[in-house]
Every structure is written in C-alpha cells, then in structure tokens.
Amino acid sequence: MPDSELLRAWSRFVADPGSPFTIPGHKHRAGAIWPELGEVDAGDVPMFGGLAPVKSAVSVVAAAEARTAERWGADWCRYSTGGSTHANQVLALAVGPPGDEVLVARNAHRSVLSGLILAGLTPRWIAPSIGADGLVEGISAAALAEAIAAWPRATALFLVEPSYVGTLSDRSSLIAAAHEAGLAVVVDQAWGAHLGFHPSLPSHALALGADAIVMSAHKTLPAYSQASIVLARTERLDRGRLERAFDLSFTTSPAGSILASTDGAVALLDSPLGEELLGAAIVAVARARDRLRAAGLVVPGPDTHAIDPTKLVIQIPHGGGLALEQTLIAAGLAPELADEHLIVPSVTMLDRPEDVDRLVCLLVAETQGRAARGPRGRAPRSGLLLADTPAPAQVMTPREAFFAAATTVTAEEAVGRVSAELIAPYPPGVPVLVPGEEITVETIELLRGAAADGVRIAYAADPTLASFQVVGS
C-alpha cells in the first residue's frame, strides 16, 4: 500500500483525540448529543494540534509538501484547503506587482480573474481556438506569438491546461515561446492532477517547463473537497513572494483532514496501485467513448483531439441534454456538467467500471429513443460557452472596475456601459463578462443563450440577466 505520513498522523489522532482544550470546538464529542453531527465531525482533525502538536505542525506538513514537490520536479509546494480558487489567487499574487500586464487564456477560470483583481494585474487576453465540433482546443502558437508582439511588456502567461473539456494546447511550444519572450508561465491544471502519472497520459505542465501549476486534488484524485496543490519552480518566480502570497490568503486553521487526504491521494497516485487504477480509468473511458459513438453521439477522444484520455465529453447534436441529465440524476449517476448539447461526467481512477457501464447504457438507451424522434434544439455551441465573437473591449482593468462605484441598469441600457461584475456560466466557470469590459449585445445574447440551454449563470447580481451592474451612476 502507498504510505503517507500525514494520513498516519490523522489516523493516530482519530483513534485517540484525548481531551484537548484547543479548536475545533466539537472536541470529537458532538455525537453524544447529536449522532449525525458527531458523524460529520468525526473525521475532522485540525492541522495544528491534530496532525502534530501546534508548535511542530508546520514542519510536519512542510516535509510532506517537500516530498510532493520532488514527485513533480518542483522546488516549492503547498497544500491548500481553499481549492484551486485559493491556489490560483496565490500565483496571481506571486507573479508581479500591481500594474503588471499578463497574458491570459480567455478560457481562464473565474478564480484566475479573482487573483488578477486581488493582485492588480492587467490581463491581455488570448482567445483559444475553437474546433469544428465547437470544443475549445486551446491556445495556438500563432495566437501566443501575436499576443507577445502586441504586449511586449507582459511579464507572465496564464494558461488553463487541460481545459474544462480535457483538451490540451501544444504546451511545450507555448512554454518555450513564452520563456523566450521572458514570461513566467503559470498553468491552471485544476482538472489534471493525474497527468504524468501513467504512461498513456500526457505529461504535467511542470515536466514541460512551466514555472508553476495549480491542481485540484479533489477533482481527479481521491482527496477531500477543497483539496488543492500549488507547485512552482523558483527560477522565474520568487520563493519568498510565493510563500508570502500563500500565507497572506490562507486560513489560520487548516483542516488537517483535507491536508492528510491530499497527501494520501498523492501517495496513491505515485504508486503502482495508482498507475493500475489510472490504467483502468483510461480503458473504461475508451470503451465508453466507442459505445457512445456507435450510438450516434459525438465523443471527442485522443484520435480526434489532443485530449486527456480519462476525459469523457459527450456532445448531443440533436439536443435533449437537460432531459438526459434528469434521467442520470434519477439513476444516481449525476454528471458534472449538462446542458442541452453537452454532458460531461467526471470519471476518475475511483469510478467502478460497472458504474461507467451503467452511465453508458442509460445514455445509449435514452439517446437512441430521442434520436429516433428526429433532431431538435439549436446547433451545438462551444463546449466552453465561448462563441466565436470578438472579446469585448477592456475599458478599465478588472481591479479598477471592481472598486469603482456601480449602479444597476436594464440589459438594454447596459449595452455600451462598462461591466462592474464578473458573470460566468457554471460549470465551467469561464467568465463571459469580466469587470472592466464593455457590455455588448453579443455578450448578453451569449449569456442568455447559455441560460436558455439550461446552464446556471453564476455571480451575476441578477441571474435572469434582465439587469446588469455597470460602472458609474
């Protein structure tokens, strides 16, 4: 079995928590007064005073993080209990001072945007390419070259690899070109914590030369919710700045349970058992892809795209994805994302092949029934809700717009005004409207189209999109 010192520390504490006069306040005794509450609290072990005595906990966790840094070939690693949201904010705070320009892939998650606002960085967007099937394919070498030429003062490049739908750019070339131009490369690899740990998987971005990566251990590894890992090389990024950025925004009471599950998940990933489980997931997804394709669904795979082979993305050209979602939920097989034309179930090394089979059987049965009634619905759109419309003009920086006085106006009045809010269909959480951007008719139509397709419109003050928050009075 794999070994993790933090997991062993967690087990020791749970076996005998003693009677500590420290936080957390449940003292592992809530079950005596309310069994359900006790059960939820049972696995909660604090980092300080739980995984190790308060005065030595930092060094115990740091030793585990150092082992993880070695596994990825990094110089610096921290485990976060704040998800990749926190980890992306840390890297934004670490790359440069307020006012620096940075190149950012426009399919960046809203957490990268929040990091730019906190850090005061000015994004210069790079539009990802969209494939003929509507899927985001990544950043092309030409698009990066154009951005480097247009913004020669930029200091860093922020990429999202893999994209929400698993696609990957030619990362080696992008990283080499960015370094050549003097840019540090930060990769949001939230959906790719498993990359590089099976011979059939693409490498992780650090192995390809990136300066820093962020990974949600809770997305593709068997770790607790909120578990995230941030890793960096310190050639182009400053170690002290990374540490300060992390500690500035990190909780003072980290859940040792999350840290222990992160460490355990990483130890499993880096073991023969982990490789075996990943191999099984790759086989299960390949099999699912073949069967779904045979049923007439469009399922991108390594034969059609540069894509993570464990990613299952199902496009439904004839529509009906929302009804399928309900069927899947009723069967206990809820997908991660569903709209009228797209279903993305998250498959990981912990999914049982029989569950993947059930999912496929249900999708095949339901889809054949619907396909027989003929095509309906609109044509499929980009899997990331990024239409081929030009990016709106950036009138002020996201930070300036965030702090500016704002007012609420109707959608009609909002056209031509500057957005004070970030609006992102979720999932995938890629902002369609960023603070500081001019609101256009196309943007409003794009958001309304996504809402009509059954996507949750997140972070908008008015999710019905009848009104918008704009800068000014």
Ligand X SMILES: Cc1ncc(COP(=O)(O)O)c(C=O)c1O
Q: Which is nearer to ligand X, 134 or 429 (CB)?
A: 429
Q: Which is nearer to ligand X, 49 or 82 (CB)?
A: 82
Q: What are the backbone angles phi and psi of residue 213, rounded to the nearest 5°?
A: -135, 155
Closest CB 215 distance from ligand X, rounded Å: 9
Q: How far is residue 330 from each of residues 77, 281, 464, measured CA to CA in Å?
A: 41, 24, 27
Q: What are the backbone angles phi and psi of residue 161, rounded to the nearest 5°?
A: -145, 115
Closest CB 80 distance from ligand X, rounded Å: 8
SS3 call for 358: helix
Closest CB 452 distance from ligand X, rounded Å: 23
Beta bridge partners of 425: 457
d(CA 99, CA 325): 44
Q: Which residue lies nearest ligand X, judged by its C-beta?
A: 83
Beta strand pairing call for 122-126 and 136-138: unpaired
Closest CB 312 distance from ligand X, rounded Å: 16
Instruction: Give 32's DSSP letter.
Output: G
Q: Which is nearer to ligand X, 311 or 370 (CB)?
A: 311
Q: Which is nearer to ligand X, 230 or 314 (CB)?
A: 230
**Applying CB under 6 A, which residues contact ligand X?**
83-85, 88, 109, 111, 160, 164, 188, 190-191, 216, 228, 428-429
Peptide bond into 427 cis (omega under 30): yes
Q: What are the backbone angles phi and psi of residue 66, rounded to the nearest 5°?
A: -65, -40
Q: Which is nearer to ligand X, 84 or 367 (CB)?
A: 84
d(CA 316, CA 255): 41
Q: Which is nearer to ligand X, 211 or 275 (CB)?
A: 211
SS3 call for 125: strand
Q: Which is nearer to ligand X, 150 or 248 (CB)?
A: 248
Q: Which is nearer to ligand X, 159 or 471 (CB)?
A: 159
Q: Which is nearer to ligand X, 83 or 383 (CB)?
A: 83
Judge contact between 243 and 232, C-beta under 8 A.
no
How is the chain split among helix, strand and coil, in percent rounded to 5? 40, 15, 45
Q: Which is nearer to ligand X, 255 or 444 (CB)?
A: 255
Closest CB 266 distance from ligand X, rounded Å: 15
Closest CB 48 distance from ligand X, rounded Å: 23
Closest CB 430 distance from ligand X, rounded Å: 8
Can you read off the two tokens belonging to residue 453?
Answer: 């397709």
Closest CB 191 distance from ligand X, rounded Å: 6
Q: How far is residue 373 from each of residues 136, 195, 369, 370, 427, measured CA to CA in Å?
A: 29, 40, 7, 5, 29
Judge contact between 46 and 255, C-beta under 8 A.
yes
Provide the angle, in degrees to the nearest 10, between the axes of the packed helices 171-180 and 141-150: 20
How does DSSP assign 176-207, residue by residue?
HHHHHTT-EEEEE-TT-TTTTSSTTSPPPTTT
Closest CB 114 distance from ligand X, rounded Å: 10
Closest CB 426 distance from ligand X, rounded Å: 8
d(CA 371, CA 146): 43
